[in-house]
């Protein structure tokens, strides 16, 4: 408790620290926003809540880490991870997801939870339970007389995440497939009537989401670290982001992603790193409680 108060007074006494944490949070948050966008996409288009989202990210991270071990620049891991996860996403869609889309929501939740367990344990068997990190040879920049230090990898990661997000958004807005995806999300039956092959749209959406996760995972491995069981934490984080923003609300998802990054940086600094996971889960409960209060108001309005 004293330590917490001490940390808060440090923040109050040295405003420049706040700036450092804020920048770090925004840089990390860009990756959250990217992966949360993928989750919201699948959620909105096929109403499948993918509990294996965080584990897809971990696969992407491990691909990048392995490339790094082979002496290949980890930033090249981004396209490789995207391609590999596209393939994994396609296989999973064919074998599992396509069979649970029409069933009730808990079915898809449980099926993806099963996939998450398989991925976690598979990664654990293949690479061991240690925390790994891919090293890109980039310097650490310092500003304001060394009070703010920013690793250049984070800036590169941020730039890549933003570029990817813009590419995906443009794709969704302009391309024919993107339009088909949006039409299916609005009303899948009407889309089918108008000649859109919704089966193909679902498959494409799931693969696209997996590829986005792969890219996010590659960035996570570079700017942070990967570990087989961290996937669950990422899944919960992404759920918090999407639930807080509402899945149809794209700017909201991106803003909430940045918010999550900033919140975690400050929370981790004030409370200590060991509370980070508990903090994320408590945030989830808080978001759900707030949502419920909102719904309560709606119900009363109807009465």
Partner 1 sequence: MSRAPVHPLTIGLLLLAGAAAPLLFPAYTNQVAVLWLMIVFASTWDILGGQMGYNSLGNIFFFGAGMYTSAVVQIGLYYDVGMYTSGARTTHIVFTTAQYFTGFALGTIAAGVVAALFAVVTSWIVFGLRGPYFAIGTLGVAVAAAELISSWEWLGAAAGISMPVFPGAPETQKLFFYFLLFGLAFAVLGFLRWLYSTNFGLAINAIRDDEEKAEAMGLYTRRYKRTAWTIAAFFLGIAGAIFGNMTGFIEPRDIAFPTTTFNIFMILMVLLGGKGTFWGPVVGAVVFQVIKEVTWTYFLGWQFVALGLLIVIIVVYFQQGIVGWLMEKYPERFGIRIAPKERQESSRAIGLAPHPEGAE
Closest CA to 53 of 31, 38, 33: 38
Range 114-153, binding partner 1 (CB under 8 A): 114-122, 125
Build a one-symbol-per-residue string for 229-268: x at contacts with partner 1 by CB under 8 A, - elsewhere: ---x---x--x---x-------------------------
Per-residue contact flags (x/-) with partner 1 for residues 167 to 186, judged by CB under 8 A = --------------------
State how far the Cα of 200 lies from the Cα of 297, in Å rounded to an integer: 40
**Quick one: which of 29, 49, 184, 191 contacts partner 1 (CB under 8 A)?**
49
Among 5, 110, 144, 159, binds partner 1 (CB under 8 A): 110
Shortest Å distance, C-beta 115 to partner 1 = 6
Q: Please report the beta strands in the chain, taking only residues with DSSP state E, as ranges in sequence order.
A: 140-143, 148-151
Under rule CB under 8 A, residue 58 binds partner 1: no
End-to-end CA distance of the chain: 45
d(CA 212, CA 31): 10
82 burial via Cβ count (<10 Å: 0-12, 13-18, 19+): buried
The C-alpha angle 44, 45, 48, rounded to 5 degrees, equals 75
Q: How many residues bind partner 1 (CB under 8 A)?
A: 41
Q: Compute the distance between CA of residue 47 and CA of residue 265 in angstroms, rounded to an integer.
A: 31
Shorter beta-carbon distance to partner 1: residue 12 or 126 = 126
Q: Which residues bind partner 1 (CB under 8 A)?
A: 49, 96, 99-100, 103-107, 109-111, 113-122, 125, 232, 236, 239, 243, 274-275, 277-278, 281-282, 284-285, 288-289, 291-292, 295-296
């Amino acid at each position: 408790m004293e330590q917490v108060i001490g940390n808060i007074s440090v923040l109050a006494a040295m405003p420049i620290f706040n700036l450092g944490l804020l920048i770090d949070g925004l840089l990390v948050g860009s990756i959250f926003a990217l992966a949360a966008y993928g989750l919201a996409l699948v959620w909105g288009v096929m109403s499948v809540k993918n509990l294996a989202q965080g584990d897809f990210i971990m696969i992407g991270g491990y691909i990048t880490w392995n490339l790094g071990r082979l002496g290949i620049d980890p930033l090249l891991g981004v396209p490789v991870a995207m391609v590999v996860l596209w393939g994994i996403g396609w296989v999973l869609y064919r074998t599992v997801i396509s069979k649970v889309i029409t069933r009730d929501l808990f079915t898809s939740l449980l099926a993806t939870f099963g996939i998450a367990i398989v991925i976690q344990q598979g990664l654990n068997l293949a690479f061991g339970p240690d925390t790994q990190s891919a090293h890109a040879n980039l310097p650490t920049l310092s500003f304001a007389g060394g009070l703010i230090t920013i690793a250049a990898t984070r800036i590169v990661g941020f730039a890549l995440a933003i570029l990817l997000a813009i590419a995906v958004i443009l794709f969704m807005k302009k391309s024919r497939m993107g339009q088909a995806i949006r039409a299916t999300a609005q009303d899948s039956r009407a889309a089918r009537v108008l000649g859109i092959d919704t089966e193909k749209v679902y498959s494409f959406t799931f693969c696209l989401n997996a590829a986005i996760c792969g890219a996010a995972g590659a960035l996570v491995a570079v700017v942070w670290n990967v570990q087989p069981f961290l996937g669950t934490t990422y899944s919960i984080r992404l759920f918090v982001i999407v639930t807080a923003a509402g899945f149809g609300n794209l700017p909201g998802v991106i803003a909430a992603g940045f918010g999550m990054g900033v919140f975690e940086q400050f929370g981790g600094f004030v409370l200590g790193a060991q509370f980070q996971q508990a903090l994320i889960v408590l945030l989830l409960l808080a978001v759900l409680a707030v949502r419920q209060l909102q719904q309560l108001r709606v119900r009363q309005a109807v009465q």
